[in-house]
Structure 1
């Protein structure tokens, strides 16, 4: 047997996974976009369910590739809670910390956009809940507590659809062919570019920025590469994909909290951690984790 054959087979498996994943979701997004005027309305009967279902595209692609290629890549489905609680705690704690730090960085650079009264949140709470202004702080506290403590576990049930593909299949498949650092970087890049059609229809950043849509796609890819480094670190150290799903769910729950204090409702720069300024703490964490991923992994759960 040619010594290059196993390597070529592994590369073919990765390529097939990427083709199937991108095809499943890109086709559905483009078809929906053609019907909605190339704009995303998450409250619509089409886009709301479609975005939720799309999160399972990477999982579906993983199943297809596993059947087609008979691959034995470790999916990390075992929760490994015994002895691994710290990784779940990190998964809960790091996204809110990064969101807060990113908001601080954004408002330091763009202090004129900072609204200490959180006027937009207050107005929405009063209008939607019929409460008095004196009750807004309590509602605010409840919302934050829910986003930080409870919502991540609910969101995890959707996020596992993505994580089963990106960190459950693609990362370990690439790790068999290259260093963990390079595998984490490429996995994050693929994850970011997977969002490209959504970003081109205004998802996350809107359509008003001068560099639309290219700058938004670049910003999303940078963020996914950086945050993906943390997710790959969790996958590596815990030996399970579930802490990754919990961290992903936590991010989805807290990412918009800084927007409540933005007069402009934010944009390509932040205050969400997906913005070019808001993601600076995420990038710094990723740079530190590059060294950790390069270290021996004797402490990885088995």
Structure 2
């Protein structure tokens, strides 16, 4: 499929050029803004490719802005996944406490009356980001993976299409994972782990895309997960990349359970 060749070529090529020019993957606050710009470009390359081939081939990508109950589910699903992953991570890492969410100067910059509401404030800010700026970024990926590509593969059935899309989507992340994204201490093992994660997450994204009637519903889930999923790594000591958090073993287990439930309904 030409769209996949273009997506992988442009995405991997853009990161290769970034690396050859001396760029390094580091999204820490206050650091070089170039990795953040690369991340946004990397997420939107699939979307631009999808829009080009969809227009050329007459493929309709549903982008209706008509929210229903499945949009709400898409918005809250990442919060549930993140919070449930916390107790499942504790056998592999110690609880750091909500203080881990405080800025570098501790509680000095936060009014005393708000400190008790810190967990709620962080989750609310993640929900807002997930429905705004993160949704825009995630839409770049969703236009291809749950948009154009699903339209091309839907005749194979929901689950075969989900497996194929999930594999391609996970493999597409490989340069970023090898550079330290999500699994900074185990980048080589992180590549197959990311593929497992995307294989298990794709059915949820396709389901809300179908029931929500729009790729925007999938982008809402994806963007919100990007916004809140990191909490599972901040609140529990990261003893091993593969054993803690949403993108580790706890997240895979929870997604597998959800897919078993979903299997009876799709």
Higher Cα Rg, which structure: 1
TM-score, L = length of structure 1: 0.80
Structure 1 CA distance for aligned equivalents of residues 243 and 117 of structure 2: 29
Match of 1:104 among 71, 82, 87: 87
1:194 and 1:140, CA in 2 relative to 1: closer, same or farther beyond 3 A? same
1:173-194 Cα distance to aligned partner (Å, 9 max, x none): 1113x11110111111111111
- Structure 1 counterpart of 2:65: 79
From 14, 25, 46, give the equivalent of 2:11.
25
The yes-or-no answer on 1:184 pairing with 2:162 is: yes
Deviations 1:245-281 (Å, cap 9, x if unpaired)?
Answer: 111111011101122322337622222x111233210
Match of 1:5 in 2: none
- Kept after mapping to 1: 8 A contact 2:150/2:165: yes
Per-residue displacement from partner, 1:109-138 (whole Å, max 9, x unpaired)?
A: 32x5222x33433463527x5347785333
Aligned-partner SS, 1:90: helix
Map 1:142-291 onto structure 2 (within 5 A).
142-148=121-127, 150-154=128-132, 155-176=134-155, 178-206=156-184, 208-209=185-186, 212-213=187-188, 215-264=189-238, 267-271=241-245, 273-291=246-264
Q: Secondary structure of the residue that 2:264 maps to in structure 1? A: helix
Report what 1:113 is aligned to. Answer: 94
| Residue 27 of structure 2 corresponds to residue 54 of structure 1 | no
Q: Which runs of 5+ in 1 are unaligned?
A: 1-14, 294-302
Output the TM-score relative to the length of structure 2: 0.90
Q: Which runs of 5+ in 2 are unaligned?
A: none
Aligned to 1:89: 72
Stretches of 4+ aligned residues off by more than 4 angstroms: 131-135
Aligned length: 262
CA distance in 1, matches of 2:202, 2:124: 25
